[in-house]
Amino acid sequence: MESLALSDLPEGALLLLDSPPIIYFLEDHPHLGPRFQPLFEEHRTGKLRFAITTIAFAEVLTGPMQAGEEALVRRYRSVFESWSVIDLTAEIAEGAARLRASLRLQLADAIQAASALAINADALVTHDRDFSRVRSLRVIS
């Protein structure tokens, strides 16, 4: 598996993270967790800044809550304290609708992409190939 293209990101780059990379890394997925480890290491050392949408926040917490794993819920919340949480605004909702209409993205994906564009993120980090249709956004996967 090839490594993530991080070398050309400027120091302090703002990245919006989609749910899967967060889950893969924090839950130690045996195959996909290591793929995203360098990204989290760069954040830990202050070289990258992270943002998460309220949609991704809810997606990430759902699994641990369904499983009754409150310790994992607390771990996620603790991690997110150092990230910017992006609320769903009317502007982002309209942007998401435009992306859905033009690119036929699923609603959650359209919200992720519109949020990344709204905050001028340097990239969206995902494990979802559907974002490749969003030409105005750098996607790292």
Looking up residue 32, the CATH number of its domain turns out to be 3.40.50.1010
> Tokens representing 100?
């859905």
> Tokens representing 57?
């926040």
Domain count, the chain: 1
Does residue 70 lie within any of the structural domains?
A: yes
The per-residue pLDDT for 4 is: 81
Does residue 4 lie within any of the structural domains?
A: no
pLDDT above 70 coverage of the chain, percent? 98
Residue 15: which H helix or E strand, with range? Answer: strand 13-17
> Tokens representing 46?
């202050």
Residues of the domain holding 135: 18-140
Instruction: Give 71-110 pLDDT, tens digit per residue.
Output: 999 999 999 999 999 999 999 999 999 999 999 999 999 9
Does residue 7 lie within any of the structural domains?
A: no
> Tokens representing 135?
């030409």
CB 134 within 8 A of CB 102: no
Q: Is the pTM of this model over 0.85?
A: yes
Does residue 97 lie within any of the structural domains?
A: yes
Per-residue burial over 120-140, b = 16 or more CB atoms within 10 Å of its CB, e = otherwise: ebbbbbbbbebbeebeebbbb
Does residue 11 lie within any of the structural domains?
A: no
Does residue 61 lie within any of the structural domains?
A: yes
List, edge to edge, every strand of the sheet that includes 84-86. 84-86, 48-53, 13-17, 123-125, 139-140
Does residue 9 lie within any of the structural domains?
A: no
